[in-house]
Amino acid sequence: MSQPSNWPLPAGSSRIVLPLELTQQLSRHPLTKHLYPLAYGHYLQAHGHSATRHTHPDYLLIFCHQGRGHYQLTHHQQHIQGELNAGQLLLIPQHVAHHYAADDTNPWSIYWLHFQGSSAQAALANLNLTVTTPILSIQHWRTLLPLVTDLLNLQHQRFTMAGGVLAATLLQHLLAQLPLLTEPTTGSSFSLPALERFMRDNCHRDLSLDDFAAFTGLSRYHFAKKFKALTHVAPMRYFNQLKIDLACQLLDTTTDSIRTIATAVGFDDPYYFSRLFKKTMGIAPQFYRDTHQQQDI
């Protein structure tokens, strides 16, 4: 297997490498031998990220969801190079030497995945991708986020054969979905479950209405109007409620300070967090913790 880059991971980024023994088992298992992951991850604003490989025994998928980067593939003395922009996927076949790097001024944020399997080449053909045409533009990529998040969340478990089979199944589902997501966008709708999952996964961040509108591909006005029509709640109020729900869980299950919990749910100012908590829950965070601890006795 090609080794993933050793780019230093900042907060919010992840890199998962499956144990060699497990990938060898996946290569033989009847449910997974056709397509299975070797390593995968998510790099946010990956300034300085690059990789050069002269030998490359597996397949590599890179999807850029923000920023941009560039790539060069070398195959039979032919050089194929270009730029990878937000909303585009680069798929590098096995045995193709390559170099890629994040842009210096607008570095990419990417999901990436090394994979193998007897059907890997067929997966490329299903996407109409070749070494000379390795780029696919995806219009509806946000609908895949729950699936990608499930795959990334496996890093919190010890990798067993059952976990490996699940990871391979998620990969197969993801690759099967891609051809369905390249059609032009129609209407002004969006996937509420995908958006809610995005909100929950980013409760630790200070996101704005612009961030959510960009996620859905709508203008601020149309996004806010559509969201409120679906939920009867304004987007930022909904997001803050998710943050407070998470804060309640942390107050119930940890001994972390109010300041630490405020930071964990995306608030740099603990006093603002406390005011919002009291406005939402009717009581201050410390009183909430004291009351619930007494109930548990």
Reduced to 3 states (helix: H, G, I; strand: E, B; else coil), residue 295 is: helix
Q: Which of 181, 197, 226 is the last residue of a domain?
A: 181
Residue 2 domain flag? no
Q: Quick one: 158 exposed, middle or buried, by C-beta within 10 A (0-12, 13-18, 19+)? A: exposed
* Model pLDDT, residue 295: 55
State if pTM tops 0.85: no
> Same domain, yes or no, for 164 and 96?
yes
- Nearest Cα neighbor of 157 from 5, 22, 6 is 22
* Model pLDDT, residue 184: 43
* Structural domains in the chain (count): 2
pLDDT in tens, 236-286: 999 999 999 999 999 999 999 999 999 999 999 999 999 999 999 999 999
pLDDT in tens, 88-131: 999 999 999 999 999 999 999 999 999 999 999 999 888 888 88
> Same domain, yes or no, for 82 and 167?
yes
Reduced to 3 states (helix: H, G, I; strand: E, B; else coil), residue 47 is: coil
Show Cβ contacts of residue 163 under 8 Å, excluding neighbours closer than 6 positions.
Answer: 154, 157
> Same domain, yes or no, for 155 and 221?
no
* Model pLDDT, residue 192: 81
Helices and strands per DSSP (H, E), number in the chain: 11, 10
> Same domain, yes or no, for 209 and 176?
no
Task: Please state, in angstroms and rounded to a whole number, the distance separating the CA atoms of residues 46 and 69.
Answer: 10
Report residue 256 as tokens: 């972390």
Compare 214 and 107 and report the one with higher pLDDT: 107
Give the rounded distance of the alpha carbon of 132 from its chain centre. Answer: 27
> Same domain, yes or no, for 225 and 163?
no
Reduced to 3 states (helix: H, G, I; strand: E, B; else coil), residue 100 is: strand
State the pLDDT confidence band at 187, using cuts at 50, 70 and 90: very low
- Nearest Cα neighbor of 128 from 97, 91, 81, 169 is 91
Residue 177 domain flag? yes
> Same domain, yes or no, for 191 and 249?
yes
> Same domain, yes or no, for 121 and 81?
yes
Residue 220 domain flag? yes
Q: Which of 63-67, 113-117, 131-135, 195-199 has the lowest mean pLDDT?
A: 195-199
* Model pLDDT, residue 172: 93
Q: In what order do the strands lie in the sheet with 135-137?
A: 14-17, 36-43, 109-116, 59-66, 88-92, 135-137
> Same domain, yes or no, for 31 and 150?
yes
State the pLDDT confidence band at 297, using cuts at 50, 70 and 90: very low
Q: Which of 159, 181, 203 is the last residue of a domain?
A: 181
Q: Which of 115, 150, 181 is the last residue of a domain?
A: 181
> Same domain, yes or no, for 243 and 264?
yes
Q: Domain residues for 35?
A: 14-181
State the CATH number of the domain containing residue 261: 1.10.10.60
> Same domain, yes or no, for 88 and 204?
no
For range 56-72, the mean pLDDT: 93
